[in-house]
């Protein structure tokens, strides 16, 4: 009986040490272990259960489940998707010639859209004035009034608003200031000496532009008079009827508008936006030429109505007007390219050129 009792006690102790009775759950992950004799590893986390039993401590990294892969599965990372054009950082705003900007379609399309939008707003304003007055004579007097012409010239500020809104998609920090910097309208990187230099360059080119356009106009008049056997006479009364300054105060207002509004807004749109985009897509040569051509044609839309009255008058007027505009436009384009796409000298040249032209017209046809 004593022998039997010892045997039964030994079997009882052995049974208590079996996995079925002592290790129902994994001590590491808590997973419910299967009832399998001599189970060595946890079927979920791979912990060496046998080693923990024998040594009463966790196994080392070397004593792991040989059947469990130690390489963690590759985590899925969604691809980085970037919408829109590459962004330009603040440090790259001034020198961005290596960046791909707006292409040919947007360079021309957005510029023409700005011109169309400006004329729609202006037409709506004139229609509103006509609706209030209900007098065609008043409308005619307003259109021929130099102060009213100066007022509606402020609508050209739309030429700044449209490209500024569009280019923000190309910037990491699309603030109004950064948008203007991208378009070239900035003094960043220019000290006082360099600013004076740009101003002097702009003034010099304005004077050269006046001389160039005057020479081209005189030469064209001589050629046309010989070809068509006609005399070209400028009627001062017609010039004053289209809103030229009639006295010194109106002349001062015109000069201010030309320098601060007309020169600035048109250069931001045509050189800072259109030419900059066309140069990136078509190269310097064609970017400058196409911009100059479109700039000239936009200023000659009013002449197109002359074709309905007299084809000869239309042809003569077109030649006399287009070539001078095209010449000064090419000068502005080359100056913008030469000044590393900065608009300081270009804006000054355009505004001062327009101001000198108005002053000369006033002196020739009004004052004398």
Instruction: Write the DSSP assignment of 176-232 as a string of letters.
Output: HHHHHHHTT---TT--HHHHHHHHHHHHHHHHHHHHHHHHHHHHHHHHHHHHHT---
More confident residue, 73 or 180: 180
pLDDT of residue 15: 47
Whole-prediction pTM value?
0.74
Burial of 190 (0-12, 13-18, 19+ CB in 10 A): middle
Q: Of 221, 189, 202, which Cα lies nearest the Cα of 323?
A: 221
Q: What is the pLDDT of residues 19-55, one digit of tens each?
A: 444 677 777 777 777 777 777 777 777 777 777 777 7
Q: What is the pLDDT of residues 216-243, one digit of tens each?
A: 888 888 888 787 676 666 555 544 445 6
């Amino acid at each position: 009986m004593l022998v039997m009792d010892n045997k039964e006690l030994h079997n009882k102790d052995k049974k208590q040490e079996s996995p079925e009775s002592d290790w129902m759950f994994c001590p590491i992950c808590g997973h419910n272990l299967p009832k399998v004799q001599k189970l060595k590893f946890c079927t979920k986390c791979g912990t060496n259960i046998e080693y923990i039993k024998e040594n009463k401590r966790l196994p080392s990294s070397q004593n792991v489940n040989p059947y469990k892969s130690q390489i963690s599965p590759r985590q899925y990372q969604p691809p980085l998707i970037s919408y829109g054009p590459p962004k330009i950082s603040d440090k790259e705003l001034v020198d961005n010639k290596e960046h791909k900007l707006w292409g040919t379609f947007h360079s021309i399309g957005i510029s023409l859209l700005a011109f169309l939008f400006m004329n729609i707003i202006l037409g709506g304003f004139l229609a509103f004035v006509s609706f209030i007055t209900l007098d065609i004579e008043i409308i005619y007097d307003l259109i021929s009034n130099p102060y009213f012409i100066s007022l509606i010239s402020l609508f050209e500020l739309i030429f700044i608003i449209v490209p500024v809104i569009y280019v923000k998609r190309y910037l990491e920090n699309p603030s109004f200031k950064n948008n203007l910097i991208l378009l070239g309208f900035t003094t960043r990187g220019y000290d006082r000496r360099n600013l004076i230099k740009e101003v002097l360059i702009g003034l010099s080119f304005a004077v050269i532009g006046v001389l160039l356009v005057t020479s081209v106009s005189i030469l064209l008049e001589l050629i046309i008079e010989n070809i068509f056997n006609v005399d070209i006479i400028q009627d001062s009364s017609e010039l004053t009827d289209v809103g030229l300054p009639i006295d010194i105060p109106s002349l001062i207002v015109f000069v201010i508008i030309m320098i601060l509004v007309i020169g600035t807004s048109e250069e931001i749109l045509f050189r800072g936006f259109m030419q900059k985009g066309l140069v990136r897509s078509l190269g310097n040569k064609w970017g400058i030429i196409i911009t100059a051509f479109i700039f000239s044609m936009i200023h000659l839309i009013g002449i197109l109505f002359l074709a309905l009255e007299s084809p000869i008058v239309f042809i003569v007027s077109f030649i006399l007007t287009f070539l001078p505009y095209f010449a000064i436009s090419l000068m502005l384009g080359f100056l913008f390219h030469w000044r590393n796409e900065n608009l300081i000298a270009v804006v000054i040249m355009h505004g001062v050129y327009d101001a000198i032209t108005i002053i000369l017209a006033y002196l020739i046809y009004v004052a004398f």
